[in-house]
Structure 1
Amino acid sequence: MICGLARSTKEDIDRAWESLKYAKTSMIHMFIATSDIHMKYKLNMSREQVVERARSMVTYARSLGFKHVRFGLEDATRSDKEFVYRIIGEVIKAGATCICVADTVGCNLPNEFAQLIVDIKANTLGIKNVILAGHCHNDLGLATANTLAGICAGVRQVDVTINGIGERAGNASLEEIVMAIKCRGEEVLGGVYTGINTKHIFTTSNMVEEYSGVKLQPHKAIVGANAFTHESGIHQDGILKNKGTYEFISAEDVGFIRASEHGIKLGKLSGRHALNIKMLELGYNFEEKQLEDLFWRFKSMAGRKKNITDDDLRTLILNETIQPQIA
């Protein structure tokens, strides 16, 4: 299914139809703002005018040939609920097949967004005949949480973006939503699933980062450079014994290729066990006393240098092993 976005105007709807009329399955997603602040200052329209515009434009889209009409309520989370119920009921009667509830400014907490979905389901005529969708922004860092809360409440179509890119602080992140559903969908989310091949997530994320020029923070969930890297000594010890101790999500599940087998990054918090494993990877096997001496010299270096490279370690090893013999 290919979907085209349009404002609730004939000009936009005509453009969408010209672009999509030959698609095997097409959808139009039209929208209009429903909050008082948007209607007054942006649209300069009354509630009655907004309802009439929404109803007539859905009817127009259906008349052109769109069988799937998705109608979005921009700024729904700051809208009067009674008005929300009313306008949704009207566009459903006009032929809308999907209703999208938008947290346009990212102001909701998860319980609020879920409650809005519950209230819409309980108070809107015809709501059982359409699909409910959610569109969440990340202004409070809650886009993923709100989207998942919406799914728990009955949303079955969600708007996401790769790497969470989008206006201002961004939108709900595809990789976070997909992996949350993959890992907890059966247990917590009522058995929902996506069918997405998650092994392509990491390479797709890298492609989007490269072509968009929008760089990922290292600690970005799922796809950040540090997402499967372990620096703390306690964590490293656990990972070396069993990856499941500190990895709830498998790196392989998202196509993440590690620089080393266990994703260990040596630093000032690393312990002897991790250092020994790294030495073995580099081809060196030390006796206990040699390793102890090397470890404290390594800790001194790590206190001065954030990123410890293999060459740094080899330098330490050479200084430790190639010493002049005193007669």
Structure 2
Amino acid sequence: MSKQRLIIFDTTLRDGEQSPGATMNQAEKIRIAQMLEKMRVDVIEAGFPIASPGDFESVKAIAKIVKDSTICGLARALDADIERAAEALKGANSGRIHTFIATSPIHMQNKLRMTPDQVVEQAVYAVKKARHYTDDVEFSCEDAGRSEFEFLCRVIEAAINAGARTINIPDTVGYQIPHVFGTMVGNLIKEIPNSDKAIFSVHCHNDLGLAVGNSLAAVMNGARQVECTINGLGERAGNASLEEIVMAIRTRQDVFEVETHIDTTHIVPTSRLVSSITGFPVQPNKAIVGANAFAHESGIHQDGVLKHRETYEIMRAEDVGWSANKIVLGKHSGRNAFRARLQELGIHLATEQEVNAAFSRFKDLADRKHDIFDEDLHMLVLDARAQDEQVIYELVSSRVCSETGETPVAMVTLKVQGIEQSAEAIGGGPVDAVFKAIKQITGQASARLQLYSVNNITSGTDAQGEVTVRVEQAGRLVHGHGADTDIVIASAKAYVEALNKLASQQQRAHPQHDGV
């Protein structure tokens, strides 16, 4: 018997971007959207068009470029929101408007200041208005996890009658418990007379660490769409993780009556791309995509895996995109080998200029590092693409004097709109001194460093270090990342990238609108 299809709705570009400091520019959003399309994600929620001109333009651009996935725009149950979403989605091969209104007593009384009757009326109005622009309308009951069951039945029935073809039940604040949430979703489907005319969806937050569990419980009880993000990115503790949802469904086909159409071999490359762009490192023990997800330290485990892989592995690493290729590039590798390896990793450079920039960085790194691993290549390509974007500040050189018992001194030279400027500063350590010198040159005195994180990209003492910084200025949070075999240089690159984002007028402020 053929299984029903579970629709995978990815909201990395919308809800995922609401993680503090995770704001992405248009080019970065397009790259992620193209990877999601390659992964065969069914629906890509590209943004919240009313939030800002930048968000509108990003949704519009993605709608024109991505053809194989449905592109979705979020809209509150308001005329302006719905009209803006419809305008952004005009060029989509397949477009969806996702409108929502809060349905819990605490939200209706304290935030909306509306009666239940007014909420139902507004929900119906919003769905009907959205249907003027597209037949694919999704309606969400914000904070459904804390809403009264009878009222949910009422508003959902009305929304379906108004034309909503997908009904989303969000656990907006991560309050629910799997068996309770699953039962609630199942009962809604049973009790609502016209539930057969819509697909029921869930969107779970991870405040209690139960987003994936709640989502899967809902699937067991009839939900046929799951809203999730790459790496579980999202507000507060994040959202249900796409990779965990997809692989749980795939691995436990004996339990689930559904299947996805996701090409799982693109999971790890997409995870790396999102991590690099957002500046949120993936913890080593993260399921599916963490560096240790398929590593075995215990002698008993190692012996078992060597004898028969399935003794301690329930999935194959290759199935989610971990490479089994043992070929390592080095300083003698040519352009063709470099390009071929990028293609094997699913990295496609659009222009010869991008190839040349990435290959130049590859050769420079190979002179300093004996073996170049796949992780290094991902970072090289990201750096090459970043150089193609317009920048105000560019690192030219950094020299640091640091010795035991002496105060570190840094001399830094930047290009500021093409003109070289230098500064010298002392600091509590070499990185502190470099950052202070950069601040002197840029004049960004009010920029406050909120996060400084260092991770090794590969193993070994010659490994590249990846530095992530998060910087705040006047309420704006941006991140920067840099990689180099010299950790001080990597730190300088990351800090300069963050200051470029602060200085850029194209980088939009962090979205703080309501959402599901």
Instruction: State the TM-score, normalizing by the size of structure 2.
Output: 0.49
The answer (yes or no) to whether the contact 2:318–2:324 under 8 Å persists in 1 is no
For residues 22 and 310 of structure 1, what CA distance do their matches in structure 2 show?
Answer: 48
- Alpha-carbon displacement from aligned partner over 1:73-128 (angstroms, at most 9, x marks no partner): 11101001000000001111111111000011111111111111111112112111
Q: Give the corresponding residue for 2:97.
A: 28
For residues 77 and 260 of structure 1, what CA distance do their matches in structure 2 show?
Answer: 47
- Per the TM alignment, residue 237 of structure 1 is displaced from its structure 2 partner at its CA by 1.6
Q: Give the corresponding residue for 1:97.
A: 165
For residues 42 and 162 of structure 1, what CA distance do their matches in structure 2 show?
Answer: 30
- Per the TM alignment, residue 310 of structure 1 is displaced from its structure 2 partner at its CA by 7.9
For residues 325 and 256 of structure 2, what CA distance do their matches in structure 1 show?
Answer: 34
* SS in structure 1 of the partner of residue 259 of structure 2: coil
The residue type paired with residue 146 of structure 2 is: R
- Per the TM alignment, residue 45 of structure 1 is displaced from its structure 2 partner at its CA by 1.1
Greater displacement, 232-241 / 46-55: 232-241
Q: 5 Å matches for 1:30-179? A: 30-62=99-131, 64-179=132-247
For residues 214 and 92 of structure 1, what CA distance do their matches in structure 2 show?
Answer: 38
Q: Which has the higher contact order (CA 8 A, sep 6+)?
A: 2
- Per the TM alignment, residue 229 of structure 1 is displaced from its structure 2 partner at its CA by 0.7
More helix by share: 1
- Per the TM alignment, residue 65 of structure 1 is displaced from its structure 2 partner at its CA by 2.3
The residue type paired with residue 248 of structure 1 is: I
User: Does 2:301 correspond to 1:232?
Assistant: no
For residues 120 and 321 of structure 2, what CA distance do their matches in structure 1 show?
Answer: 47
Q: Give the corresponding residue for 1:200.
A: 266
Q: Give the corresponding residue for 1:212.
A: 278
The residue type paired with residue 123 of structure 1 is: E
Q: 5 Å matches for 1:1-16? A: 1-16=70-85
2:308 pairs with 233, 242, 254, which one?
242
Structure 1 residues not aligned, in runs of 5+: 262-308, 312-327
User: Does 2:255 correspond to 1:188?
Assistant: yes
For residues 55 and 227 of structure 1, what CA distance do their matches in structure 2 show?
Answer: 46
User: Whose Rg is larger?
Assistant: 1
The residue type paired with residue 188 of structure 1 is: V
* SS in structure 2 of the partner of residue 82 of structure 1: helix
- Per the TM alignment, residue 259 of structure 1 is displaced from its structure 2 partner at its CA by 9.4
The residue type paired with residue 245 of structure 1 is: T
- Per the TM alignment, residue 258 of structure 1 is displaced from its structure 2 partner at its CA by 6.2
Matched residues, percent identical? Answer: 52
For residues 173 and 121 of structure 2, what CA distance do their matches in structure 1 show?
Answer: 25
More strand by share: 2
Alignment RMSD (CA, Å): 1.7
Instruction: Report how many residues are paired.
Output: 261
* SS in structure 2 of the partner of residue 58 of structure 1: helix
* SS in structure 2 of the partner of residue 24 of structure 1: coil
The residue type paired with residue 99 of structure 1 is: I
* SS in structure 2 of the partner of residue 3 of structure 1: strand
* SS in structure 1 of the partner of residue 130 of structure 2: helix
For residues 248 and 61 of structure 1, what CA distance do their matches in structure 2 show?
Answer: 44
* SS in structure 2 of the partner of residue 231 of structure 1: coil
For residues 236 and 23 of structure 1, what CA distance do their matches in structure 2 show?
Answer: 49
Q: 5 Å matches for 1:251-290? A: 251-257=317-323
- Per the TM alignment, residue 232 of structure 1 is displaced from its structure 2 partner at its CA by 1.3
Structure 2 residues not aligned, in runs of 5+: 1-69, 328-458, 462-516
- Per the TM alignment, residue 175 of structure 1 is displaced from its structure 2 partner at its CA by 0.5
